[in-house]
Amino acid sequence: MVKAKQLVFIDFEFSMPERNRVPKGFFPEIIETGVVVVQNGKVTDTFSTYVKPSAFPRLTNRCKRFLSITQNEVDGGISFQTLIDYFNQLNSKGIEKVVTWGNMDMKVLRDNCAQWGIVFPFQAQFVDLSMEYKRFFGDQNQTGLWKAVQEYGREGVGKHHKALDDAMTTHHIYNLVEKDKKYLDKAEPTTIGDRIDLSKLYNQLA
């Protein structure tokens, strides 16, 4: 049986300490997950859940304000092991790429797995779309997710810092970038008129 080649877009939200009051041994825990699964260019599944933190179960006021999240929401979330079980199910079906905006999502996932002695679930190719976007457009600085989609003249999906909405927005930008790549690959050689701003030339000659 041939495994499906899926693209998996992931966004996590993490716990965070109060400013200038970091508890001893603190590490960010995944507290919300958004996943978009794509096969043959079509979204075949979405997954959205809160994840109950274990090491530092009480959310800080800073975290709740920044993410618009409540203690009750995360208390009702799934366990981290259940999240890993879901990822392992996806992996068993075949994943071509795992796409995130920035590298923090996979770093925190790896760290959380290491903290709890759980095997990291993915063996697929990882794509940091923010770096692809930076290289593609020649930006000197790394661009935020929602700024990037606005630069395309579009709007993000739903609310920023809601995991599934950010995963959907990442998928949206991925499609736009891939479309632009194909357009540039097929673009015909430019004429001299395309390369020179003729209006400036005419003004100089006037």
| Per-residue pLDDT tens digits for 85-109 | 999 999 999 999 999 999 999 999 9
Q: How far apart are CA 181 and CA 196, in angstroms?
A: 23
Position 199 in a domain:
no
Residue 191 inside a domain? The answer is no
13 is catalytic: yes
How many structural domains are present in the chain?
1
Q: Is residue 203 part of a domain?
A: no
More confident residue, 187 or 124: 124
147: alpha, beta or left? (left if phi > 0; alpha if psi -120 to 50): alpha
Q: What is the mean pLDDT of residues 145-156?
A: 60
Reply yes or no on whether 96 is catalytic. Answer: no
**pTM of the prediction?**
0.81
Q: In the structure encoding, which two tokens stand for residue 101, read together?
A: 């905006």
CATH number at residue 136: 3.30.420.10
Residue 151 lies inside a defined structural domain of this protein: yes
Residue 206 domain-assigned (yes or no): no
What integer pLDDT is reported at residue 132 of this predicted model?
84
Residue 34 is assigned to a structural domain of this protein: yes
CA dist 148 and 183 (Å) reads 19
Angle between helices 104-116 and 80-92 (to 10 degrees): 110
Spatial separation of the C-alpha atoms in residues 47 and 62, rounded to whole Å: 26
Q: Does a structural domain hold residue 187?
A: no
Domain of 144 in residue numbering reads as 6-175
Catalytic residue among 29, 73, 161, 172: 161
CB-based contacts of 146, cutoff 8 Å, min separation 6: 156, 160, 169
Per-residue pLDDT reduced to its tens digit, 123-146: 999 999 988 878 776 665 556 665
Catalytic residue among 13, 29, 32, 172, which? Answer: 13
Domain presence at residue 181:
no
Q: What confidence score (pLDDT) does residue 110 get?
A: 97
